[in-house]
Chains A and B, each alone.
Chain A
Amino acid sequence: AQRVTQPEKLLSVFKGAPVELKCNYSYSGSPELFWYVQYSRQRLQLLLRHISRESIKGFTADLNKGETSFHLKKPFAQEEDSAMYYCAPPNDYKLSFGAGTTVTVRA
Chain B
Amino acid sequence: DVKVTQSSRYLVKRTGEKVFLECVQDMDHENMFWYRQDPGLGLRLIYFSYDVKMKEKGDIPEGYSVSREKKERFSLILESASTNQTSMYLCASSLPTEAFFGQGTRLTVV
Interface residues of A (CB under 8 A from B): 6, 9, 34, 36, 43-46, 49, 51, 86, 88, 90-91, 93-100
**Contact residue among A34, A46, A95, A97 (Cβ-Cβ distance under 8 Å from B42):** A97
Given A9-B40, A43-B101, A46-B99, residue A96 in contact with residue B45 (CB < 8 A): yes
A86 neighbours in B (Cβ, 8 Å): 42-43
Contact of A44 with B42 in the complex, beta carbons under 8 Å: no
18 contacts between A and B (CB under 8 A): A9-B40, A43-B101, A43-B104, A44-B90, A45-B101, A49-B97, A86-B42, A91-B31, A91-B94, A91-B99, A93-B31, A94-B45, A94-B58, A95-B45, A95-B48, A95-B92, A99-B43, A100-B43
Q: Beyond A43-B104, A46-B99: 16 further Cβ-contacts under 8 Å? A: A34-B98, A43-B101, A44-B43, A44-B92, A44-B101, A45-B101, A91-B99, A94-B45, A94-B48, A95-B48, A95-B94, A97-B35, A97-B45, A99-B42, A99-B43, A100-B42
| Chain B residues in 8 Å Cβ range of A100 | 42-43
Number of interface residues of B (CB under 8 A): 25
A34 to B96, CA, bound (A): 11
Most chain B CB atoms below 10 A, which of A6, A88, A95? A95
In this assembly, does B59 line the interface, its C-beta being within 8 Å of a C-beta of chain A? yes
Nearest chain B CB to A40 CB, angstrom units: 12
